[in-house]
Amino acid sequence: MSQETEHVHCLIIGSGPAGYTAAIYAARADLKPVMYTGIVPGGQLTQTTDVENFPGYPDGVMGPEMMEDIRKQAERFGTNVRFGYITSVDFTGPVHKVVVDEHKAVTADTVIIATGASAKWLGLESEQKYNGFGVSACAVCDGFFFKGQEVAIVGAGDTAAEEATYLAKLCKKVHMLVRRDEFRASKAMVHRVLNTPNIEIHYNTETKEILGNGQNVTGIRVLNNQTSEENTIPVEGFFVAIGHKPNTDIFKGWLEMDETGYLITKPDSTETNIEGVYACGDAQDKIFRQAVTAAGTGCMAALEAERYLAAKEHAVA
């Protein structure tokens, strides 16, 4: 290493609602937390426009503004927020070691992992162009903005089926685009979709382009991959529900995770299989994936880290 190793009591990796909430609690407990933000400071919410379902914002708030508020709150209590990316970890011993941006070594008594998850996208240019302006990867977050309108959702698994039925309660019509001639979802979820009258299923259908007027989504151009026929469907919202990928690759081989990469924590806890390492937010939650639930687990992680350090100090004393 080109420079001396720095040691910290509490290292927080990631800067979404989970990471920042952990930082607020850890700082108030005098753990002097150091946070590395990752390549997207503020996490997924910085790529969201209106947030209306987070407590404390009666008129709603823009995602980036909300994350700025939470960052300021964490810094006010003494969190050392740094822009940087953890490139490798070594959880061999009682003191945990990480490498930042491939060159700086940091050791920590406790580590709180809040690296989040990233939505999987179709990879269309128009998808990114209208992201936040009619294109969304979270029906629960953004469905309300399309009340009484026509929308489309792409996906064939349980999440897509659940989000389609959720949207059907709010929207005039939901076009569900399924790439194959069958669902991947469980029978119960498929049954629910098929029995929802305002969901129209388009089998063997792929999205070629999201159409818009430069400001908002106005429709989609789709291809029937059996007949090669192209059609345009007028919609005002387009939801992508093809899954999320947790940002946990650097922890492979160290921490227990499920087959899709979500970190496994002990029941009613944020503890991982490594003592002193905690996981919170979307890196370990594949069910709810909401800002408020992420914040809740961030609080849990900080409280558990504080208790762990207090017990260690007591044992030494």
**Mean pLDDT, contiguous 10-residue spans, the chain (317 residues):** 79 97 98 94 81 92 93 97 96 94 95 94 95 92 95 94 95 97 92 97 97 97 96 98 94 97 98 98 93 97 97 76
Q: Specify the pLDDT at position 317.
A: 53
Which of 292, 250, 257 is closest to 272 using CA atoms? 257
Q: Specify the pLDDT at position 247.
A: 96
For 94-125, letters b (16+ CB in 10 Å) and e give: eebbbbbeeebbbbbbbbbbbbbbbbeebebe
C-alpha–C-alpha distance, residues 118 and 243, integer Å? 9
Q: Specify the pLDDT at position 3.
A: 60
Q: Which domains does the chain have, with CATH numbers?
A: 6-118+245-316 (3.50.50.60), 121-240 (3.50.50.60)
The set of catalytic residues is 138, 141-142
